[in-house]
C-alpha cells in the first residue's frame, strides 16, 4: 500500500531536503484568527481590502505574506491587540539597487524585523503602506521567531505532523529550553512533504522533518552541528543551488557559520535564456566563489563560547566550488498530498570545492564565460543598513523630484 501522507512518501524514497528553502526578500507576518482557509487570506476573518492589498504587493515585490497564530500561548497574552511583523532583507546603506544586471553585487546582511501592535486586521494595509513609505517604524524585534507550519487545510501533513510539533515546541519554550524564542503557528510555507517544517527568523533558514532535539540545538547553537543535516532545507537568502554549498560550509565551520554575513554576485547566468521559456531556472552547472570573513558578533541565543570554536571563524577564507545536477539525488515525487501526479525534483550537489587565494579569485572574475553562472559571495562586517524595499521607495522619490 502506498503511503497516504506525502511526508512519509518523501522520507521513504530518501529525498534530500537541502535546496528547498523559499527565496524571498521580505516576509510579512499577520496574526489572523483561526481556522484558516486553504488559502489563508481567503479566510472569512480577512477584510476584502486587506486581501486585495496582499495580492497587489505580492505582484510587485519579492514578498511572502503569511498568517500566524499564537496557538497554546494565546491564553497568556492579551487578545486586545493583534501582531503584525515585517522582516526585510537588509542591505548596506552605500549599495545602489539600480537594477537586475548580473554584475550588481547582492549583499546579504540577514533580515531586520519590526513589530506592530494593531487593533484589528482592518489596520494592516495602512500600517504596511506607512512603513514602506518610511512614515512609520515599529518596535525592533530582538527575539528569535520560529514559524511552524500547521496549515492542515492546505495539506494534511502539516496538521498530522506540524500540530504535534508546534505543541511540543511551545511547551519547550515555556519551560525556558528555547531561550529568547517565540513559537508561532504559520500558514503554508512550502514543502508539505517535509512536515513538520519551520522557518527561523531573523536568519531566514528553513527546516523540515524537525525534531525537538534538533530545534533546541539550532536555537541554542549547541551539540554537534552535523545533526542539522537531517533537517536543514537551506538558507532562504540564497538561490537554491547555493543553498547546497552553504550547507557544506555550515558543516565545515560549525555554529559560528551562522554569524557570518555574506554577499553574492551573479557574474554570468546561463539560465536567463531558459527563464524566458520557463518560470523556473534549471542550471546544469554552476561555478561559485565564496569569500568568508570573520564572524561579526554573537547571534540571538548563541553561547559566547561558540564564537571561538574554530580558527576558521577568525580568518578570511575564499572557496571555489562547482555545483552540478545530481541524477542520483533527483527524485520523482508528489509535492503535496493532493497532487495528482509525481513530478521530478532536480537536486544539486557540490562536485568540487577548494580553498583558493582571495586575490587570485578576484582577478579571475572577469574570465567567467557566458555558459556558466558564477557567483561571488563575500562576508562583510555590519554596516548601517536599511531595508531593500525602503531604499527603493526613497530612490523613486528622488527620481520624481
Mean pLDDT on 273-284:
46
Residue 1 lies in a domain: no
Are 118 and 126 within 8 A, CB to CB? no
Q: What domain count does the chain have?
A: 1
Residue 216 lies in a domain: yes
DSSP state letter for 337: T
Which pLDDT band holds residue 177 (cuts at 50, 70, 90)? Answer: very high
Are 128 and 116 within 8 A, CB to CB? no
Domain boundaries, position 286: 6-400
Per-residue pLDDT at 376 = 38
What is the number of residues in the chain?
401
Q: What share of the chain has pLDDT > 70, as a percent?
A: 69
Are 383 and 92 within 8 A, CB to CB? yes
Helices and strands, counts by H and E, the chain: 10, 19
Give the position of cell 487570506.
41
Residue 257 lies in a domain: yes
Residue 124 lies in a domain: yes
CA proximity to 290, closest of 380, 221, 205: 380
For residues 22 and 128, give the distance between their C-alpha atoms in angstroms, rounded to a whole number. 22
Per-residue pLDDT at 389 = 52
Q: What share of the chain has pLDDT > 90, as a percent?
A: 51
Mean pLDDT on 322-346:
86
Which pLDDT band holds residue 148 (cuts at 50, 70, 90)? Answer: very high
For residues 38 and 73, give the distance between their C-alpha atoms in angstroms, rounded to a whole number. 23
Q: Omega into 35 within 30° of 0, i.e. cis?
A: yes
CA proximity to 293, closest of 361, 364, 358, 387: 358
Residue 133 lies in a domain: yes
Instruction: Quote the cell numbers at residue 165.
Output: 510539533
Residue 288 lies in a domain: yes
pLDDT > 90? residue 196: yes
Per-residue pLDDT at 277 = 38
Three-state SS for 275-324 is: HCCCCCCCCCEEEEEEEECCCCCCCCCCCHHHHHCCHHHHCCEEEEEEEE
Residue 361 lies in a domain: yes
Mean pLDDT on 26-55:
96
Question: What are the distances in angstroms from CA 118 to CA 122, 299, 401?
Answer: 9, 29, 33
100-141 pLDDT per residue, tens? 444 455 667 689 999 999 999 999 999 999 999 998 889 999
Mean pLDDT on 9-16:
92
Are 359 and 291 within 8 A, CB to CB? no
Query: What is the model's pTM?
Result: 0.81
Give me the phi and psi of 325, to 5 degrees please: -65, 140
Per-residue pLDDT at 202 = 95
What's the mean pLDDT when you consider all of the chain? Answer: 79
**3-class DSSP state for residue 83?**
strand
Residue 231 lies in a domain: yes
71-96 pLDDT per residue, tens? 854 444 446 899 999 999 876 444 44
Q: Is the dihedral of CA 152, 158, 163, 164 positive or negative?
A: positive
Give the position of cell 568568508.
292
Per-residue pLDDT at 352 = 84
201-244 pLDDT per residue, tens? 999 999 999 999 999 999 999 999 999 999 999 999 888 888 99
Count Cα neighbours of 157 within 13 Å in the Cβ-side half-sphere. 27
Per-residue pLDDT at 381 = 36
Which pLDDT band holds residue 355 (cuts at 50, 70, 90)? Answer: confident
Per-residue pLDDT at 344 = 87
Q: How far apart are the first and last CA of the chain?
A: 67
For residues 204 and 21, give the distance between their C-alpha atoms in angstroms, rounded to a whole number. 9
Q: Of 16-30, 85-99, 237-251, 288-302, give the range with the top mean pLDDT.
A: 16-30
Mean pLDDT on 175-203:
96
Amino acid at each position: 500500500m502506498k503511503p497516504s501522507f506525502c511526508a512519509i512518501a518523501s522520507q521513504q524514497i530518501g529525498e534530500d531536503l537541502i535546496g528547498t528553502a523559499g527565496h524571498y526578500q521580505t516576509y510579512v507576518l499577520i496574526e489572523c484568527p483561526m481556522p484558516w482557509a486553504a488559502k489563508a487570506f481567503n479566510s472569512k476573518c480577512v477584510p476584502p481590502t486587506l486581501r486585495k492589498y496582499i495580492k497587489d504587493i505580492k505582484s510587485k515585490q519579492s514578498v511572502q505574506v503569511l498568517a500566524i497564530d499564537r496557538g497554546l500561548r494565546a491564553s497568556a497574552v492579551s487578545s486586545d491587540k493583534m501582531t503584525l511583523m515585517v522582516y526585510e532583507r537588509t542591505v548596506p546603506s552605500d549599495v545602489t539597487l539600480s537594477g537586475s544586471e548580473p554584475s550588481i553585487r547582492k549583499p546579504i546582511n540577514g533580515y531586520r524585523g519590526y513589530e506592530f501592535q494593531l487593533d484589528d486586521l482592518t489596520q494592516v494595509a495602512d500600517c504596511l503602506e506607512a512603513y514602506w513609505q518610511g512614515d512609520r517604524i515599529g518596535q525592533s524585534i530582538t527575539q528569535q521567531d520560529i514559524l511552524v507550519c500547521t496549515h492542515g487545510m492546505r495539506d494534511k501533513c502539516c496538521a498530522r505532523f506540524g500540530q504535534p510539533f508546534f505543541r511540543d515546541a511551545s511547551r519547550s519554550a515555556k519551560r525556558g529550553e528555547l531561550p529568547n524564542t517565540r513559537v508561532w503557528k504559520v500558514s503554508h510555507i512550502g514543502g508539505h512533504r517535509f512536515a513538520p517544517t519551520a522557518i527561523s527568523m531573523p536568519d531566514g533558514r528553513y527546516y523540515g522533518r524537525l525534531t525537538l532535539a534538533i530545534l533546541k540545538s539550532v536555537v541554542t547553537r549547541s551539540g554537534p552541528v552535523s545533526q542539522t543535516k537531517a533537517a536543514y532545507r537551506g538558507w532562504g537568502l540564497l538561490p537554491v543551488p547555493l543553498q547546497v554549498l552553504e550547507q557544506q560550509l555550515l558543516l565545515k565551520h560549525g555554529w559560528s557559520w551562522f554569524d557570518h554575513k555574506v554577499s553574492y554576485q551573479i557574474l554570468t547566468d546561463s539560465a536567463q535564456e531558459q527563464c524566458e521559456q520557463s518560470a523556473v531556472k534549471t542550471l546544469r552547472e554552476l561555478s561559485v566563489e565564496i569569500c568568508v570573513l570573520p564572524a561579526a558578533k554573537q547571534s540571538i541565543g548563541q553561547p559566547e563560547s561558540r564564537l571561538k570554536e574554530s580558527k576558521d571563524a577568525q580568518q578570511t577564507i575564499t572557496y571555489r566550488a562547482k555545483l552540478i545536477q545530481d541524477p542520483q539525488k533527483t527524485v520523482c515525487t508528489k509535492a503535496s498530498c493532493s497532487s495528482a501526479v509525481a513530478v521530478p525534483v532536480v537536486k544539486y550537489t557540490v562536485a568540487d570545492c577548494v580553498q583558493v587565494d582571495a586575490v587570485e579569485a578576484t582577478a579571475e572574475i572577469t574570465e567567467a564565460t557566458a555558459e556558466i553562472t558564477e557567483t561571488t559571495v563575500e562576508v562583510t562586517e555590519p554596516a548601517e543598513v536599511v531595508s531593500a524595499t525602503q531604499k527603493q521607495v526613497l530612490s523613486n522619490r528622488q527620481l520624481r523630484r
